[in-house]
Each structure stands twice: as C-alpha cells, then as structure tokens.
Structure 1
Amino acid sequence: MVALFIKLILAHLIGDFLIHPQKWVKHKNKYKQNSKYLYLHILIHALALAIILLFDTTYWLGFLIIIISHYLIDLTKIHLRTKKNNRWLFALDQLAHLLVIGVVVNIYEPYLSLIYNVNYSKLLLLLTSLIAVTSMSSIVMKTLISKWKIEDKGDKEDSLEDAGAYIGMLERLFVFLFILMGFMEGVGFLLAAKSIFRFGDLSRAKDRKLTEYVLIGTLISFGLAMVIGLIYNYVTVTI
C-alpha cells in the first residue's frame, strides 16, 4: 500500500511541480481549455505515471482515473481562478488530486477498512489539541495582553497583513510538535531563533515597553504550546 502510494505521489510531483514551467501555468490561465500546455501537462503526467508504474497494465483502471480526474480538476481550477481565490484553489486542487490518489490506492490495496481500528479518542484529542494550540491560544494571548497598547506605526506600514498571527500559530505548532517528539532542544532553538529575528525591532525601541511586550507575548505563546503538548502526552498514554 505504502509503496504504491509513494509511486503515485512521485508521479504527481513530477508532473505538477518538477516539469511544470510558470510559462505553462500562465498560458493555461489565459487560454483555459484551448491552451496547448494544458494537454502537454496532462501528457507529462501520463508519461511519468506510466514510467514509474513500469508500464504495468494491472494498473490501467487507476491510470485512467488519475489522468482523467487530473484533467477535469485542472480545467475546473483554471475556470474558477481569480486573484482573490488563487491560494485557496491551489490548496483545494492539490487536495483533490491527493484524494483521487488515495481512492486509486484503495482500489488495488484496500485500506479504508483500517478506519474501524482507529483509536478515535486519540484522534479527537489530537484535533482538540491542534485547535487549542492555534485558534484558542491566539484568542487567549490577545485577551491577556490587551491591557497594554503598543503601537509602532512605522513597522505596521511595512508589515504583512496578519503576519504576526500566522507566525504565532506556526511557532506554537512547532513547539507542540517538538513536545510530542520529546525534542526539547528544538523548543530552545526556536526560542533563540525568534529572539535573533526580533533583535532589530527591540534594539530600535526607544524604551523598554516594546521589549517587554514582545517578551511577554513570546513567553505566553511558548508556554501555552508547551502546556498543551505536555497535557496531550499525558492524556494520550491513558486512552
């Protein structure tokens, strides 16, 4: 099962990323189903898939499912694409391709029956922890530090929209992952790395307010992620 899945993923990566110039993407977005590069793209996928499967005719049904679905998914994407939804469409496009690959793998090596053996308590605990370490922690942090009003208009003009929130979520996810892996050194490395990146902001501060504000936010963020990670590790042993 794993070997077949890896082969199909490799073929997908070759066709969708390795041999997929930006020139082709722009041409497809402009001419849609009339673009010659859309069909060349599908041909590349077919060749990559056939070669990696060693032209084994046993997989003819899976081959057809992947190639036809890839064409339909890509065609749908280029017709729905706008500047505003480009990122979401890219994510949904890749997810759709992965789902098709999962279906094909299940046709030849059924694995969906394994779902019945999944420990749903652990799965629900993981989902709960991920929500807690991202969305919930962001709201908790915002509430805790809302008593301080720190504004740096100069930096705000140069900052990416919502960048701070995304950085906070990513850093907590990394800390949570390090805790699950028992890799405490990673938490220290991440904290040190963030301190280095924020050194410029802190050195430009005219007083200690910004420094203290950043330190409080960082420590709360790391603390929440560590507590949630430790709770997850403790509870997962008991279920």
Structure 2
Amino acid sequence: MILLFIKLILAHLIGDFVLQPQKWVKDKNKNKHLSKYLYWHLAVHALLLLIVLSFKFDYWLAFLIIIPSHFLIDLAKLHLQNKKNKRWLFLLDQLAHLIVIAGVVEIYEPYLSHYHKLDATMSLLFLACVIAVTSMSSIVMKTIISRWNIENYKNDEDSLENAGTIIGVLERLFVFLFVIMNFWEGIGFLLAAKSIFRFGDLSRAKDRKLTEYVLIGTLISFGLAILIGLLYNYMLGII
C-alpha cells in the first residue's frame, strides 16, 4: 500500500513541479483550456504514471481515474483563479490531487491490508521527499510570498543569477537532512549562519519591508523542510 502510494505521489511531484516549465504555466493561465501546454502537461503525467506503474495493465483503472481527474482539477483551477484566490486555489488543487491518489491506492490496496516492501519503499520515499523539499517547496514559497511586491526594494546589480533560488534549495536540503539525522543543532547553526551573512545586506538596505520579507521567506523555507523531514521520519516508522 505504501509503495503504491509513494509511486503515485512521486509521479505527481515530478509531473507538476519538475517537468512543468514556467512557460507552460503562464500559457495555461492565459489560454486556459485552449492552451496546448495543458494537454502536454497531461501527457507528461500519463507517461510518468505508466513508468512508475511499470506499464502493467492491472493498473488501467488508476490511469483512467488519475489522468481525467487531473485534467478536471487543473481546468477548474485555471478558470476560477484570480489574483486574490491564487494561493488558496494552488493549495486546494494539490490537496485534490492527493485525495484522488489516496482513493486510487485504497481501490487497489486497502489501507487495512497494508504490507511491506521496505527497501524499494524507503528509496522512493526519500526521492519523493527530496523533490518536495527542492522543486515543490520553491513553487510553494513563490506562491505564498507573491502577495508582497518588493521589486522596488531589491538591488540585484551585484547578485549572481538565480543565486537566491539555489541558496534556498540548498538550505532546505540541509535542513531536511538534519531532521532525518535527528541533528537539530545543525538547523540552529544554519539559521545563525544565514542571519550573519544577510545582516550586512539588510542593514545597508535600511528598509523594514525588505527585512520582514527575508525573514518570512526564511521561516517558510525552514518550516517546509522541517515539516517534510518530520513526515519522512513518520513514514519510515510505519513502513
């Protein structure tokens, strides 16, 4: 049961957060159901499902449930989405996908008849968590903090290209590893080190809004990594 659930989650994470360029997202938001990238996105999910399910015909019902439901959920989000509800619809969209996946797992392997395939399960669980900590968390953070526009307060003249994104991904990976290793002191050290390095930038900026923006982003980043790390440890305890 756990193995099938993680396979389906892994396919979803890769399809939604790794193999979906921003170009596709923008085109879908603009053209809705007329966007060709909406159907390319579904094709990617279909291919990923076939791969993780090893092209087994036994899972034809899972395929027929997940792909059409994914299309309907994405289509509803595209038509209902606006600037005010964008963040909430993003979260509801992901929750709906998870509910569908959980329902499919229940059809094939009822949760009460849970069995173990430890090695494969642990590997897939770890991979799914790494993707969640990196690609998914980056998009979640952008969605949450998009309500604040700080373009007028940022100074990117001396900044490396994509440095902020890379730093965020690396810090979440470190925090995730610290949590699963039960090395909580490392998180405190990492947070202190980041605070020291950012102190100069924030003091030069002399702007409270930028300071608050950085603090919110840091707390969200660390919080997501800790949450995923705790979830990983919890899942290990039940498989």
State TM-score, norm by structure 2. 0.52
Deviation at 1:8, TM superposition (A): 0.9
**Residue 94, structure 1, aligned to residue 94, structure 2:** yes
Q: How does 1:102-113 map to 2 (within 5 A)?
A: 102-111=102-111
Are the equivalent residues in 2 in contact too, given 1:106–1:112 (CA < 8 A)? Answer: no
SS of the residue aligned with 2:82? coil
Aligned match of 1:12? 12
Q: Which residue of 2 aligns with 1:196?
A: 197
Unaligned runs of 5+ in 2: 115-151, 155-174, 207-239
2:185 alignment partner in structure 1 = 184
Instruction: Specify the code of the residue in structure 2 equivalent to 1:11.
Output: A
**Equivalent-residue separation in structure 2 for 1:39 and 1:108 (angstroms):** 27
Q: Name the CA shift for 1:21/1:204 in 2 (closer, same or farther; >3 Å).
A: closer
**Secondary structure, counterpart of 2:20 in structure 1:** coil
CA contact (8 A) 1:32 1:79 kept: yes
In 2, Cα distance between equivalents of 1:54 and 1:104: 16
Tell me how far 1:191 sits from its aligned partner.
Answer: 2.6
| In 2, Cα distance between equivalents of 1:112 and 1:29 | 40
1:185 shift after superposition: 4.0
The aligned counterpart of 2:57 is 57
Task: Give deviations 1:131-150, integer Å, cap 9, x for gaps.
Answer: xxxxxxxxxxxxxxxxxxxx
> By how many angstroms is 1:92 displaced?
1.8
- Residues 14-72 of structure 1, C-alpha deviations (whole Å, 9 max, x = no match): 32233323232222222222222222221221122112212212111111111111011
Q: Where do residues 27-66 of structure 1 align in structure 2 (5 Å cutoff)?
A: 27-66=27-66
| Distance of 1:82 and 1:60 partners within structure 2 | 35
What is the number of residues matched between the two proteins? 149
Q: CA deviation at 1:203?
A: 7.9
Deviations 1:85-119 (A, max 9, x none): 222222221121122112211222222689xxxxx
Higher-Rg structure is: 1
Alpha-carbon separation, structure 1, partners of 2:9 and 2:101: 8
- The one-letter code sitting in structure 1 at the alignment partner of 2:153 is D
C-alpha distance in 2, partners of 1:204/1:77? 38
Contact map agreement 1:32 1:78 (CA 8 A) in 2: yes
Check 1:158–1:69 CA distance in 2 against 1; reply closer, same or farther (3 A cut).
Answer: same
3-state SS, counterpart of residue 20 of structure 1: coil
- Do the aligned partners of residues 183 and 60 (structure 1) sit closer, same or farther apart at CA in structure 2, a change above 3 Å counting? same
Compared CA separation, residues 78 and 188, structure 1 to 2 (3 A): same
Q: Which runs of 5+ in 1 are unaligned?
A: 115-156, 160-173, 206-239
- Decide whether aligned partners of structure 1 residues 182 and 48 sit closer, same or farther in structure 2, where only a CA change above 3 A counts: closer
**Equivalent residues in 2 for 1:115-154, closer than 5 Å:** none
Q: Flag the structure with more relative contact order, 1 or 2, with Cα contacts below 8 A and sequence separation at least 6.
A: 2
Question: Percent identity at matched positions?
Answer: 56
8 Å Cα contact 1:27-1:37 kept in structure 2: yes
For residue 186 of structure 1, report the CA deviation from its aligned partner.
Answer: 2.9
2:74 corresponding residue in structure 1: 74
RMSD: 3.4
Give the whole-Å Cα distance in 1 for the aligned partners of 2:2 and 2:90.
25
User: How far apart, CA to CA, are the structure 2 residues paired with 1:17 and 1:106?
Assistant: 25
